[in-house]
Amino acid sequence: MDVRQQQPAAAGRNEPWPYLDFWGNHGCVNLLSTSTNRGWSGLSAQLCSVRKTVAPWRTPQSEIRICVDVSGNKSSIARRAPGIESRIVVRRGTVWFSPPGLQEGSVDIAYDMSGVLHIYLPLTHFSPGNFDINIGKSVVGGLSCEDAFDDPLLAEIGYAIASELQTETSAGRLLIEGLASSLAARLVQKCTRESTGQSIGSPARGALDRRRLQRVLDYIEANLEGDLTLDDMASIACLSRFHFARAFKEAVGQSPHRHVSAKRLTRAKALLMQGDRSLVDIALSLSFSSQANFTRAFRQATGHAPGQFRQAFGSRRWEPSLRRDLPALSSI
């Protein structure tokens, strides 16, 4: 299944979804959510519903397209292309994908489908420097698109991406960067295990020592109101992005995006209590794309809208000792 007509720009850029108009002319696609304008890095994604149809099957040259059923459809998809003829039975958690550069094929969707997530993962993730095994185009090309398959980890990654599409969070960009690396690693792991019995090497224990960890934590604290990226933090730690995310979780007890999310929530409370900045300024400084998304996430975490929180606690001076008296903010 494909919904784009031209080769896309690099994943994560603020570009339109070019295949939408193409499939829209067939009257078969309803775009529910898109990563366009989210500033994501590492992958792009769209959540859509698709009607029963027969349409061309095409894929971009520079990306693998991975589809995940996130809602529980009961349908089948017949796909035909040179050297490929397959029928996929779809249910919630089913994963299927298309190789890059496919331009001559067709897809036959038997029944209407809702909640289908399309993930576009750049081939740059599969460069040998990203993993402890020697991989290349032969491995990427070896990922068979003949059949759908069930993989709980890939499905959970898909659910997390779909959730971030539907409800933006303050550390969502970091979450997506980490999920992109995990997605690529899982695909490589599946391919190498099935073809050669290899597995992805694990980073060395204690790879993130106390000194480098402190540098990373200081950097996070200094850039909470800025564009924090996994690549920047990994560079400070002198580790690859994939190894940094795992080493950070070992050292801190939570993933980088959860740590940043918690820190930004603490900063949000402090800024609201100070009372001298507008809500939209606070929202944008904490990496929300709009005040509405900030308000929605803040209310979900605390039970209060930001304005209500400011009215209730804004007269109190922000001190660390007051944190235990305020509503808990787990993740937004």
Q: What is the pLDDT of residues 228-241, one digit of tens each?
A: 888 888 888 888 77
The answer to whether the CB of 143 falls within 8 A of the CB of 187 is: yes
> What are 262-300's pLDDT values in tens digits?
888 888 888 888 877 888 888 888 888 788 888 888 887
Q: What is the CA radius of gyration of the chain?
A: 21
Instruction: Output the pLDDT for position 145.
Output: 56
The answer to whether the CB of 248 falls within 8 A of the CB of 257 is: no
Look at strands 44-50 and 149-150 and give their pairing.
Answer: unpaired
Q: How many CB atoms lie within 10 A of CB 251?
A: 18
Q: How many CB atoms lie within 10 A of CB 5?
A: 17
pLDDT in tens, the chain (332 residues): 443 333 333 343 334 444 444 444 555 788 899 998 888 989 999 999 988 988 888 888 888 889 999 998 888 898 888 877 888 888 899 998 887 887 788 889 988 999 999 999 998 887 655 544 433 333 344 455 556 778 889 999 999 999 999 988 888 899 999 999 889 888 877 765 554 444 444 444 446 888 888 888 988 888 888 888 888 888 888 887 778 888 888 888 888 888 888 888 888 888 888 877 888 888 888 888 788 888 888 887 778 888 888 888 765 554 444 444 444 433 45
Query: Maximum CA pair distance of the chain?
Result: 69
Q: Give me 155's structure tokens.
A: 């499905």
pTM for the whole structure = 0.66
CA torsion 135→140→146→151, rounded to 10°? 70
Instruction: Output the pLDDT for position 180.
Output: 93
Distance in angstroms (rounded) separating the CA atoms of residues 119 and 69 = 11
Instruction: Output the pLDDT for position 35.
Output: 92
Q: Which of 97, 117, 94 is nearest to 45 (CA)?
A: 117
> What are 198-224's pLDDT values in tens digits?
444 444 444 688 888 888 898 888 888
First-last CA distance in the chain? 33
Instruction: Output the pLDDT for position 93.
Output: 92
The answer to whether the CB of 126 falls within 8 A of the CB of 136 is: yes
Instruction: Output the pLDDT for position 314.
Output: 67
Instruction: Output the pLDDT for position 175.
Output: 92
